[in-house]
């Protein structure tokens, strides 16, 4: 590996080459890059097959991820390290992320605190212990567990299955010191301990193996360790076969006490098997990774399946969400999770394949010692279980947000950011947003949604039928009418409409803003107004021709977009409702030859308007009292309405003209 070559600050001192110029001198080899701020803090670590090409994407603005737009203005310098292959770059990237904890890389929130079960394999008599550390050499770690109680209960269970020394035992620590001080006397240590040892409490009550009393040799003890590790790995079938063989052998030797011990252990494994859910018909070994993303946070749930049984599940919270792509988020999680555990299964089921999936598979295979496949389940029991993992990830995220007050904190930051960006006199605790929905001028409606303290306040939602004549209707006239009605003096005095808003948001650019301002001025009202342009990040305000640009990925931008989308949803819902009512009431009235009697006959024959719309021409002709000519007209009119309804639905998924 080459020594790192450091690029200094691209702006100071004067005359120094710019960041782009420095990047142009970076080699085209594989490696890792580290973006740094002016203080030298590492902001982000990435890997690349071609360092120069990848880093140019950052400085040229070709990387459109929201977090990059936030990060690059802070970048003052960079380092890079050249390696021999993509695989080496991945390993180096994982190590650098663990070393520097960069704020813009995907991270497990509170990842230092996740508990593990450790087996100190490097000791003459390995101990089992609960730990939150993962830095000791010659130690095997199982986990991570997201529930400390579950980790401790697992330790209690395996010690009942196969007595092992616990890492906190004072007598085990004494034996460890003796073994470490005189490794050449390892074979004699059991005899010395038998003569001078001090049996611990666990040995007296049958929970300890008797290392401290010289009751077990290192070889016999290692058998117990292998049994425990097989249990923690989820290898229950082989474990049960081994226990049954030991039990039968002891019985043949007439050592019924020993056979009884193995029988109790076998029963314990069987009991645990019954408690664990069988999720695959075949003895599959796999981890299923479910993901649920929101704004700038995400939940992950890992189902650990061994021999077709769910051994355990683990839940995590990531400090990135929709501000990075799903593939990148998964790649970051897999590196963090499997970089910290010794349990790598042959198959890992994920919701989407990361862009660097081949390199990840190579690295995972190296950690496991055998090939590892990343796979996206599409159908069958794997897909069903994967959906369950994603649902658990969503619930984990919900619990985290409730426990930490995440929503309140984010809403407060969003309101303060809007107050500053829009030069408001105070934080916009009450935000109102209007949206117009119309299809070819029919059933034009408007919605008003209200967000109080950054949260949707559905009790304050209102909807309006636009009364402006069809020949005069357009978005601007409709918006002016609705604002005139909402902010008329009698409505402002009506408690049912709530208090005066601190901010009014419109879905549209400068023209919509101008129309709204004219209406508010006519009413003598001074309410802060902003128009959200199609580009999302831009807010038009009355006091500046240039739009206010909210930072990509910021809480304020997410809030504004959520308000706008909610207004759009509410308007479209109302528009569809009116269309449905109008169709039910009037579509048959448009058919020549259909009066009240024939209308009743048709609805009686098919049960509802929906049933009539689904009917074939021959079925309509078969209704008593309906001539063939009238049936053909009814059928043709219904088909025309279906086509218009399809266009309306398509518009609802798009802009809906408003």
Which tens digit of pLDDT belongs to each residue from 242-289? 778 878 887 888 877 777 777 777 777 666 555 445 556 677 889 999
pLDDT class for 432, splitting at 50, 70, 90? very high
| Residue ranges of the chain assigned to CATH 3.30.420.10 | 286-404
Q: What pLDDT is attached to residue 575?
A: 58
- Between 558 and 321, whose confidence is greater? 558
In the chain, list all ranges with CATH 3.30.420.340.
412-576
Q: Provide CATH 1.10.150.20 ranges for the chain.
A: 587-653
> Residue 451: pLDDT band by 50, 70, 90 thresholds?
very high
> Once rounded to an integer, what is the mean pLDDT over residues 601-624?
85
Residue 653's pLDDT is 47
Contact in structure between 513 and 506 (CB atoms under 8 Å): yes
Phi and psi torsions of 102, nearest 5°: -65, 140
DSSP designation for 40 = -
652 has pLDDT over 60? no
Percentage of residues in the chain with pLDDT exceeding 90? Answer: 13
Tens of pLDDT, residue by residue over 164-212, are 888 888 888 888 888 888 887 777 777 777 777 678 888 877 778 888 8
Residue 347: strand pairing partners: 286, 373
Give me Rg for the CA atoms of the chain: 34
pLDDT surpassing 60 at residue 649: no
Q: Grade residue 655 by pLDDT with cuts at 50, 70 and 90.
A: very low
d(CA 113, CA 146): 9
Please tell me whether residue 485 adopts helix, strand or coil conformation.
Answer: helix
All CATH 3.40.1440.10 domain ranges in the chain, comma separated: 5-105
The predicted pLDDT at position 574 comes to: 67
Which helix or strand (DSSP H or E) is residue 610 part of? helix 609-614
Domain covering 286-404, topology: Nucleotidyltransferase; domain 5 (3.30.420)
* Superfamily name with CATH number, domain 412-576: UvrC, RNAse H endonuclease domain (3.30.420.340)
567-581 average pLDDT score: 70
Class of domain 587-653: mainly alpha
Per CATH, domain 5-105 is 3.40.1440.10: yes
Q: Report the chain's mean pLDDT, rounded to a whole number.
A: 81
Give one DSSP letter per residue of 263-288, joined into a string: HHHHHHHHHHHHHSPB--SS---EEE
pLDDT of residue 360: 92
Q: Are 656 and 569 in contact (CB under 8 A)?
A: no
**ω into residue 13 within 30 of 0, thus cis?**
yes
pLDDT at 3 over 80: no
For the segment 527-542, the average pLDDT, to the nearest whole number, is 82
pLDDT-derived band at 12, boundaries 50, 70, 90: very low
pLDDT grade for 295, boundaries at 50, 70 and 90? confident
Instruction: Report the pLDDT value the prediction gives residue 647, as an integer from 0 to 100.
Output: 63
Residue 10: band (very low, low, confident or very high) from pLDDT cuts 50, 70, 90: very low
**Which of 138-142, 185-189, 394-398 has the weakest average pLDDT?**
185-189
Q: Residue 6: pLDDT above 50?
A: no
Worst-scoring range by mean pLDDT, 84-98, 99-113, 199-213? Answer: 99-113
């Amino acid at each position: 590996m080459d020594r790192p070559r450091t690029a200094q600050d691209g702006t100071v001192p004067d005359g120094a080459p710019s960041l782009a110029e420095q990047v142009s001198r970076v080699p085209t080899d594989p490696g890792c890059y580290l973006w740094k701020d002016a203080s030298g803090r590492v902001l982000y670590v990435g890997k690349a097959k071609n360092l120069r090409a990848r880093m140019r994407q950052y400085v040229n603005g070709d990387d459109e991820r929201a977090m990059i737009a936030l990060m690059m203005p802070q970048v003052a310098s960079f380092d890079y390290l050249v390696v021999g292959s993509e695989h080496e770059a991945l390993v180096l990237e994982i190590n650098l992320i663990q070393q520097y904890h960069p704020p813009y890389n995907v991270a497990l929130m509170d990842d230092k605190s996740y508990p593990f079960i450790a087996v100190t394999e490097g000791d003459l008599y390995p101990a089992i212990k609960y730990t939150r550390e993962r830095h000791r050499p010659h130690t095997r770690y199982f986990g991570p567990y997201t529930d400390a109680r579950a980790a401790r209960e697992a330790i209690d269970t395996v010690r009942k299955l196969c007595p092992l020394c616990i890492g906190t035992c004072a007598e085990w620590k004494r034996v460890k010191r003796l073994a470490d001080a005189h490794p050449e006397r390892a074979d004699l240590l059991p005899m010395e301990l038998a003569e001078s040892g001090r049996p611990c409490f666990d040995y007296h009550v049958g929970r300890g193996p008797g290392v401290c009393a010289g009751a077990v040799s290192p070889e016999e003890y290692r058998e117990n360790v292998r049994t425990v590790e097989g249990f923690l790995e989820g290898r229950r079938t082989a474990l049960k076969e081994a226990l049954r063989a030991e039990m039968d052998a002891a019985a043949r030797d007439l050592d019924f006490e020993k056979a009884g011990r193995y029988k109790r252990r076998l029963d314990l494994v069987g009991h645990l098997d019954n408690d664990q859910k069988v999720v695959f018909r075949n003895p599959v070994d796999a981890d299923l990774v479910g993901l649920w993303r929101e704004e700038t946070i995400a939940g992950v749930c890992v189902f650990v399946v061994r021999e077709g049984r769910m051994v355990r599940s683990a839940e995590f919270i990531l400090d990135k969400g929709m501000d990075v792509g799903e593939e990148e988020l998964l790649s970051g999680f897999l590196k963090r999770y499997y970089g910290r555990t010794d349990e790598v299964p042959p198959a890992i089921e994920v919701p989407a394949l990361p862009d660097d999936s081949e390199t990840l598979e190579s690295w995972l295979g190296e950690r496991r010692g055998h090939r590892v496949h990343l796979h996206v389940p599409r159908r069958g029991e794997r897909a069903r279980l994967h959906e369950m993992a994603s649902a658990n990830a969503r619930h984990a995220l919900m619990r985290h947000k409730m426990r930490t007050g995440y929503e309140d904190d984010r809403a407060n930051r969003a309101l303060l950011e809007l107050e500053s960006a829009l030069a408001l006199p105070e934080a916009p605790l009450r935000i109102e947003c209007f949206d117009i929905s119309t299809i070819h001028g029919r059933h034009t409606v408007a919605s008003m949604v209200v967000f109080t303290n950054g949260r949707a306040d559905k009790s304050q939602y209102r909807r309006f039928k636009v009364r402006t004549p069809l020949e005069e209707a357009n978005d601007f006239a409709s918006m002016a009418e609705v604002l005139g009605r909402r902010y008329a003096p009698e409505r402002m005095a009506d408690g049912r409409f709530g208090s005066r808003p601190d901010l009014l948001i419109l879905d549209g650019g400068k023209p919509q803003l101008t129309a709204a301002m004219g209406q508010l001025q006519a009413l003598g009202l001074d309410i802060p107004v902003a128009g959200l342009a199609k580009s999302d990040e831009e807010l038009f305000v009355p006091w500046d021709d240039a739009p206010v640009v909210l930072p990509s990925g910021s809480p304020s931008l997410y809030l504004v977009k959520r308000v706008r989308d909610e207004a759009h949803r509410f308007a479209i819902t109302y528009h569809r409702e009116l269309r449905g009512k109008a169709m039910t009431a009037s579509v048959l009235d448009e058919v020549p030859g259909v009066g009240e009697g024939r209308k009743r006959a048709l609805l009686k024959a098919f049960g509802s308007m929906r049933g009539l719309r689904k009917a074939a021409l021959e079925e309509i002709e078969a209704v008593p009292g309906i001539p063939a000519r009238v049936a053909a007209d009814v059928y043709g009119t219904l088909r025309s309405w279906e086509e218009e309804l399809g266009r309306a639905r398509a518009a609802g998924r798009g802009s809906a003209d408003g």
